[in-house]
Structure 1
């Protein structure tokens, strides 16, 4: 049980680091597109904060996927043949509605449209809630739990491919040959007719 929680905490702090980098990229791009960083010229999307938020977060999503796939969940194989990309994008798009809703409430209910209010609503409160939802959904739906050799002995039908095995040389060796197997007595399957 301690190993499981250690794995969760390791994935969580790595997820926060990757999410922090992706958020930094998205926040900088959002502020450039909406507020222009006080450069003296009009921001390209100053009248369209929602579109700017979506664009900025699509770029952040690309950073997040690469970091999640290669570092955060490196020990978890993806559930799908596309490396989990489609489910990753779907989860990100759905959870992007959380900060957009918070930004909408800030602008239309609370009537706050200054740069500080936009950033607190969308990039602090909204992204925090979205990040918690994404971490849970990525672990459950995009990346499979690694299978250890000791787990295989207790639940032999858990692994369907040899690549699903996560063999740790520091674990206690497990002897799977305790029960001898009998030779197969089944006949070959008949060939289908042309």
Structure 2
């Protein structure tokens, strides 16, 4: 245990803080991912015993709805946990930037799904989820950079 303590003292404070921030962002993102993926699959494919979801013929719309649900989870988790040390009163600028960044992230997430369905003609659960995973990964990187540099800044 002494080595870990000595090592941690050599790590600069900014690196320790960044590690905590990345870990918290990852936990919030994982929860938002579960909400988004589960709601998307439920909306498109329905329950296992059903004939499909309510938005089965509109997977891009389902992706948007699922992303909006995940965005609510992300707002609460990031504002009140990940970036709690940067938090003041909720202001219009922060909320507007958060929504704007997430709308761009929504488009980034939906774009591969659109390509998969409309240009490649794919529509299986595997291809839909693989396309969303590609978009989600790109949108996550975008969100992390934007949240820490634009949205949740020290007031």
Helix, strand or coil for the counterpart of 1:37?
coil
Aligned to 2:15: 5
* Counterpart selection for 1:133 from 135, 142, 151: 142
Unmatched segments (≥5 aa) in structure 2: 1-10
Between the two proteins, the alignment pairs up a number of residues equal to 145
Unmatched segments (≥5 aa) in structure 1: 146-163, 165-194
* Counterpart selection for 1:65 from 72, 75, 80: 75
TM-score (norm 2): 0.85
Bigger relative CO (Cα 8 Å, ≥ 6 apart): 2
Aligned to 2:8: none
Please state which structure has a larger fraction of its residues in helix.
2
Distance 2:41 2:90 in 1: 35
How is 1:141-160 mapped onto 2 (pairs within 5 angstroms)? 141-145=150-154
Query: Which aligned runs of 4 or more in structure 1 are off by greater than 3 angstroms?
Result: none
**CA RMSD after TM alignment:** 1.9
Indicate whether 1:32 and 2:56 are aligned: no
Return the offset for 1:38: 2.3
Distance 2:12 2:117 in 1: 45
Distance 1:109 1:41, change over 3 A: closer
| 1:108-165 CA-partner distances (Å, limit 9, x unpaired) | 333321001101111x2111110110000011111124xxxxxxxxxxxxxxxxxx6x
Aligned to 2:106: 96
